[in-house]
Amino acid sequence: MKPVPATPAADLADIALLRQMMRIRRFEERCAQLYGTGQIRGFLHLSIGQEAVAAGALPALRDDDSVLSTYREHGHALARGLPMPALMAEMFGRQQGCCRGRGGSMHLFDAGRRFFGGNAIVAGALPVAAGMALAEQLRGTDRVVACFFGEGAMAEGEFHETANLAALWRLPLLLLCENNLYAMGTALARSESQTDLCEKARSYRMEALSVDGMDVAAVAVATQQAVARVRSGAGPVFVEYRTYRFRAHSMFDAERYRSKAEVETWKARCPIAAWQRRLAERGVAIDVDAIERELGAELDAAVAFAEAGTPEPLEALGRHLTAEATP
């Protein structure tokens, strides 16, 4: 019997990218189903269609780098390594969640993995990221602080204040813009006079590059280059990922601001399907059914964990509202 040849390391890495994108999508699809049954409540913002950004960008960072995100952060959290059961329990509002059920979908957080949260305020994470980058600079480390935000944040004052100080002080800050063309329901051209986002970033004399955010390989390469430049001490770098969300802004969005034809055009560029085709063209052997079974089992276990979880006791709800002195 002939031995089965080992899969090359490069192919394994590329299959891992496919699996991560599929994992993010299946997690969010299950969350949408659970929202429909009332098991998940509150706000829920899905990144379906944008999976290539999280899957391609996060591996470029080290474990000791810091990551900040937006309220559309499920994919970032999963790609950063937050356990799916803890994320699902947080969606359910259970104390077994990563924030003891207090944060929900928009406020995922894990200090141990240096994932410093989703943020419900548009552009709200940017000044925090600048402060964290300044702290790393003052400590003399080579850590990078990466901050994800949408293109709508670039119309906010926080972006300009952050970009100005980051460039002026040459902070180790990675500004990662997920440009999905619509800030909630407002098209980019209707909210910003300069729609070339890299030009806007370059006006602060920082390096800026734009990449196809539907191409996971392009995302990975661009992010690796940007991280290397920031880590070298060259100052902040801005990366624009040109992407698109297939679903509405949130579960409450009537989605009257764009046509169905436009959405279908972008769906034809699905990052998961496109990457699967590219791997097949290269002759990479992929057992998609096996991946789907693995992900289904992982999701079922995460949901079961969340369903078995418990709300935080009433007497504990006053904790963590103010800083607690350590003995």
Ranges of H-type helices in the chain? 9-36, 51-57, 74-80, 84-91, 125-139, 157-169, 188-191, 197-202, 216-231, 260-267, 271-281, 288-307
Domain contains 253: yes
Q: What confidence score (pLDDT) does residue 7 get? A: 74
Residue 153's CATH number:
3.40.50.970
**Type of residue at 76:** H
What is residue 108's three-state secondary structure?
A: coil
Domain contains 109: yes
* Residue 143 · residue 172 · CB < 8 Å: yes
* Length of the chain as a residue count: 327
In angstroms, the CA 155 to CA 182 distance is 12
Domain contains 150: yes
Domain contains 164: yes
Domain contains 322: no
Domain contains 11: no
Domain contains 258: yes
Q: What confidence score (pLDDT) does residue 323 get? A: 78
CB atoms within 10 A of CB 276: 18
Domain around 280: 16-185+194-306
Q: What confidence score (pLDDT) does residue 9 get? A: 82
Phi, psi at 286, each rounded to 5°: -130, 130
Q: What confidence score (pLDDT) does residue 107 get? A: 96
Q: What confidence score (pLDDT) does residue 5 get? A: 57
Domain contains 317: no
* Residue 90 · residue 101 · CB < 8 Å: yes
What is residue 310's three-state secondary structure?
A: coil
Q: What confidence score (pLDDT) does residue 38 get? A: 95
In angstroms, the CA 306 to CA 301 distance is 9
- Give how many domains the chain has, as a whole number: 1
The candidate with the shortest Cα–Cα distance to 271, out of 90, 74, 18, 87, is 18
Q: What confidence score (pLDDT) does residue 55 get? A: 98
* pLDDT < 50 positions in the chain: 4
pTM of the model: 0.94
